[in-house]
Amino acid sequence: MTQDMLTTVFGWLTFLNFAILGFSTIMIIVLKDWVADIHGRMFDMNPAEVRKAYFTFLANYKIMTLIFCLTPWLALKLA
């Protein structure tokens, strides 16, 4: 694989992961009561715990995307 090809792959990977992150965030904000109720019943959690789990999930997903997608893309762009 060439450096240009890796740069392109990491660029698209970053874009797709941030798109998924944005879509997930919007869906959780728009459908928060309905989704929290479903997941609360599935995992035997109260709605406050479910919302905390959503926040933790979104924060971890964003950090992982920054570390494993955006950082390599920036490093390849600067190289």
Contact 72, 10 (CB under 8 A): yes
3-62-60 Cα angle (round to 5): 120
pTM of the model: 0.87
Q: Residue 30 has what pLDDT?
A: 95
Nearest alpha carbon to residue 35 among 27, 23, 46: 27
* Angle, helices 3-30/32-43, rounded to nearest 10 degrees: 90
Using one digit for the tens of pLDDT, what is the confidence trace for 19-77? 999 999 999 999 988 999 999 999 999 988 999 999 999 999 999 999 999 999 999 99
Instruction: Quote the CA–CA distance of 65 and 14 in Å, as a whole number.
Output: 7
